Amino acid sequence: MVWRIIICLLSGYAFGCISTAYVVGKINHVDIRKYGSGNAGTTNALRTLGWKAGAITFLGDFLKAVIPIIVFRNIIFKDVEYNQLLALYMGLGIVLGHCYPFWLGFKGGKGIAVTAGVMAAFDPLLIPFFIVIFVAVVILTKYVSVGSMLISILLPVWILICYPGELHMFILGLLYVASAIFMHRANIKRLLNGTENKIGQKVKIEKNS
């Protein structure tokens, strides 16, 4: 089991290092890490470059989690009985690669779009739940960060309900929550101070050719 876990973590990290936001920013002659929150993720792409860039960034980050997990679970480790557990390990590697890409000085995004991708690949039944939770929370609070952190909590709760007795999987689910909270620690501080940016707020940038 250990060598398979290592393969999944390392492979996941490699896929996670594909920074959609950075690529989209460069296409628009912008280093997205120098504007807004400084994160190479969906929310900052949306605020900095507009809804099209935000949508492309989300889709890219979402798929870089969904595709490798499905391939590894259903093809490479198809006959391994604990391939769902391996899917979570690979997803964890993807989240780490997204948040800490080595080729960008370990400065990436916050991992929510890829976490959503992990959840979708892990169990497609999670998709309508995290969409409803995210949209409802953002509409009610106007804070993307609050919706982002809350959907991460859905994963361990889902595991607890649908995979009773799977303590290993549950602990991995909690690690996703811990990662989301840690990556949003600055947002939490701003929320407590009442200075957190609300959805719709844009960032002014000066594009360099």
One-character DSSP codes across 61-75 = HHHHHHHHHHHIIII
CB atoms within 10 A of CB 102: 11
Domain presence at residue 207 = no
Give the model confidence (pLDDT) of 64-85 as tens digits: 999 999 999 999 999 999 999 9
Q: What angle do CA 179, 160, 88 make, to 5 degrees?
A: 45
**Domain total for the chain?**
1
pLDDT band at 203 (very low <50, low <70, confident <90, very high): low
Tell me which DSSP letter residue 32 carries: G
Domain presence at residue 204 = no
What pLDDT was estimated at residue 123?
Answer: 96
Gap between the Cα atoms of 22 and 103, Å rounded: 11
Domain presence at residue 206 = no
Give the model confidence (pLDDT) of 82-140 as tens digits: 999 999 999 999 999 999 999 999 999 999 999 999 999 999 999 999 999 999 999 99
Does the predicted model carry a pTM greater than 0.85? yes
Give the model confidence (pLDDT) of 17-60 as tens digits: 999 999 999 999 999 988 888 899 998 999 889 999 999 999 99
Domain presence at residue 117 = yes
Where are the strands (E) in the chain, listed by range?
none
pLDDT band at 200 (very low <50, low <70, confident <90, very high): low
Domain presence at residue 188 = yes
Domain presence at residue 209 = no
Domain presence at residue 198 = no
Q: What are phi and psi of 36, to 5 degrees?
A: 60, -130
**Mean pLDDT, all residues of the chain:** 92
Domain that holds residue 30: 2-193
Domain presence at residue 82 = yes
